[in-house]
Amino acid sequence: MSTDPVKNLINNLAKEMGLSPLDIERVYKAPFELQSIIMRFRCDRERQYFPSLRIPYFLIFFCPERKKQRLKKLQEMKKDGKISNK
């Protein structure tokens, strides 16, 4: 058996549930992929739109108002040429 605890858990769950380890791994990765999709394609920095994502008992993706204001200030500074885009 491997020493990676996640791989061990995936293999044990696969045996217990009668599924392939690949199926269990897909389920394990699904919330992270969903969060990535929302962050890449649903957020709009210009309009300060950052949708919340809550997966019960797992994670919450939320952008607090202070972070939105900080991002807005940085964007304004970039437009004014006070900071570079690097």
Question: Distance (Å, rounded) from C-alpha 50 to C-alpha 61?
Answer: 9
- pLDDT tens per residue across span 34-80: 888 988 899 888 888 888 888 888 778 888 999 989 988 988 888 88
**12 has pLDDT over 90:** yes
pLDDT band at 86 (very low <50, low <70, confident <90, very high): low
Query: Would you kindly state where each structural domain of the chain is located, as residue ranges?
Result: 1-42, 45-86
Retrieve residue 1's tokens. 């058996």
CB 31 within 8 A of CB 58: yes
- State the Cα angle at 66 between 64 and 71, rounded to 5°: 100
